[in-house]
Amino acid sequence: ELEDEILGKLSDAEGDITEDKELIESLENAKKLSGEIQQKLAQGEATSLKINETAEKYRSVAKRGALLFFVMNDLYKIHTYYLYSLNAFVVMFLRGIELVQQKRDGGGKKKTGLSLMQRLQAAASKVVQAQRFSWNVDLLKDSFMASDADMQKLAGALLLRQGSQSSIQEPEKEEDPVEMLKHCTSLKKSITNVLYNYLRRGLFEKDKLTVAALLTFKIQ
């Protein structure tokens, strides 16, 4: 649209275009806008790279989740009663993550005087998490949807974050590989325990040892 507007003004220009004030201002605005777009594209690429790097660190947790899901999905071969939905798995998976996060936050106690980054994380968390669980709702699909109010809160938190970064540039702390490994191990353990406890409640007594052994062999 901007390109078409500039080309239209150039084609309609008469006489010396260097004396066309409106055309010159349009070209200057276009140059400025182009620079802003390039800057945002560069920021987007950097953000995408950071997201991919962070996601790669949690690959082992994702593999454990996939393993547990397929084990759970195959339990119907033991008995036709053992049928579980993807939603059920998602709820248990998120519960396992939540327990680890609560432990890291000090037992899940509500804190006062949250920092700007903590408020940003809280707003983002509310955007991607469902408020209530319904067995008829696709949780994976809904996790990418948010209400206008939540999006406005997240946008406000992001603006505050950007404002603070522009005034004070703090060096980013790199994640300690040892701590990341411990964190991933805690996540895998928590998710596995939560899912197994969920499954065993619906198992016949004679099948509990079979399922426990199956999970153990798969994990090993």
pLDDT tier for residue 130 given thresholds of 50, 70 and 90: very low
The percentage of the chain sitting over the pLDDT mark of 70, rounded to a whole number, equals 60
Handedness of CA 184, 185, 186, 192 (dihedral sign): positive
State if pTM tops 0.75: no
CA 178 → CA 25, 184, 185, distances in Å?
55, 10, 11
Calpha distance 43→40 (Å, rounded): 5
Two tokens, residue 32 = 């400025």
Cβ atoms 219, 67 nearer than 8 A? yes
Residue 207 has pLDDT above 80, yes or no: yes
What's the residue count for the chain?
220
Q: Are 115 and 161 in contact (CB under 8 A)?
A: no
Each residue of 6-63: pLDDT tens digit? 667 666 666 666 666 777 777 778 778 878 888 888 888 888 888 888 888 899 999 9
Q: CA separation (Å) from 120 to 89, 151, 155, 214?
A: 28, 12, 9, 41
Rg of the chain on CA atoms, in Å: 26
Q: How far is CA 116 from the centre of its chain?
A: 19
